[in-house]
Amino acid sequence: MQETKQLWKGNIAILTLVAAFVGLLCARSVASGAMFLFGVNALWDVHPKRWLQQRWWLVVVAWVGMYAISFFWTTDTEEWVAHLQVKLPFLLLPLAFAFLPKFSKKQTDFFTWSLGLMMFAAAIYGLWPLWHSSESLIHSYKYAHVLPTAMFNDHISFSTAVALSIAWIVYYFPFLERKSSRILMLLLALFLAVYLHILAAKTGLVAFYVLLLGIAITQVRKSPTKGLLILVLGIIGFTAAYTFIPTLRERIGYSKVTWLSYKSGERSGIYSDGGRLMSYKLGLKSIAAHPLLGVGAGDVLDEMKLRYREDYPEVKEAQMLWPHNVFLTSAMAVGIPGTLFLVFWIFWPLSKVRRNRVSLYFVLMLAMLLVPLMVDVSFEVQAGVGVFLLFYLWQKKALDDASNTA
């Protein structure tokens, strides 16, 4: 009876998890509903007293709690509600994953194929416009525009999700039993890698090469020849992509232009990379002025606009950004002490890392996830929160299961 109950709980968890990914790609309400059902299923028969035994979860509860109590020093309460609401999955999903049974091989196979095929379909959707107006789309890359993507054109979150999907496929590849399955999954991973270079979203590409570099370094320790071969193939692959994929070439050219403009003193904020660097400076200035409690979760953008007007009056309001870094944004909202809860929560699972394959891929996936956290306001939008939590907690569960059976 207990085994049957656990089997059904695992099946429902996998189905709602896949539904959450589908929702992130194309329907926000589906994502929210699926995450809620995922949590209800996992916690249905778990006494709340056991929740309080999850010390790791309590740390992230403290971080979200800081956002909640910042109400008392926030002026814009509507913005406070919006930015607190988007963080509610941090209260549910880590706790839910903690009480799920170990997934079976069949369940994990289903998740892996579902994830790969979802990303394949989303990539095809993004590539489809190239068949009709390739010249104009390629030309638009000169002005920082990219191909349309799933996740409501959030190319940072989506490209990161594609790179993370490749990482999971590579991790799970040895567990595929049939030769035909391995060939198809390998082709799927290669297609997604090529797609990342066509999309040319920098965040996803950097995350992908973090994965490739991490694998190469690990292999160098075991077999220098194999590790160096991976590095050489990576360099050859990127060179070939730059040579034959015009969107990637234009994207790199735009990045060069933005960097040179910033170095020459351009202060209008119209270039994305320069605008990010300006937002970092202003965010740090605000944190220095409000280090303990921040300015309140609802007043971050208003605070940034004030700083822009003081230091960069040339920047139009449309180019006034949040500090494009999760940790800076959190420190601005709730102060440095509150942000330490987030930092501690993210890195705590590294204490379980051992010299084994599942630990390696947890570290690699965490390193990949840090890329968007450093260059975007990922935790202020649903897609960013969803991508981070679903991939991070899925790989952490594999780490936990390996630790519990060791």
What pTM did the predictor assign?
0.95
DSSP string of 303-317?
Answer: HHHHHHHHH-TTS-G
| Angle in degrees, CA 343, 347, 351, rounded to 5 | 145
Residues 6 or more apart from 85 whose CB is under 8 A from it? none
Please give the pLDDT value at position 271. Answer: 64
Residues 6+ apart with CB under 8 A from 220: 226, 227, 228
Per-residue pLDDT at 148 exceeds 70: yes
Report which secondary-structure segment, H or E, holds 164. helix 155-172
Rounded average pLDDT over 47-68: 97
3-state DSSP call for residue 296?
coil
Helix axes 202-222, 155-172, angle to 10 degrees: 20
Structure confidence at residue 275 as a pLDDT band (50, 70, 90): confident
Q: Give the list of residues 6+ apart from residue 365 with CB closer than 8 angstroms, or none.
A: 164, 167, 168, 391, 392, 395
Average pLDDT over residues 157-170: 98
Query: b/e per residue, 14-36, with b = 16+ CB within 10 A?
Result: bbbbbbbbbbbbeeeebbbebbb
Secondary structure (H, E, C), 98-120 = HCCCCCCHHHHHHHHHHHHHHHH
Q: Is 263 exposed, middle or buried (0-12, 13-18, 19+ CB in 10 A)?
A: exposed
Res. 406 pLDDT band, cuts 50 70 90: low
Residue 185 scores a pLDDT above 90: yes
pLDDT tens, position by position, 286-313:
999 999 999 999 999 999 999 999 998 8
Q: Are 75 and 299 in contact (CB under 8 A)?
A: yes
Residue 269 binned pLDDT confidence (cut-offs 50, 70, 90)? low
pLDDT value of position 334: 98
- Dump pLDDT digits (tens) for 345-403: 999 999 999 989 999 999 999 999 999 999 999 999 999 999 999 999 999 999 999 88
13 and 41 Cβ atoms separated by less than 8 Å: yes
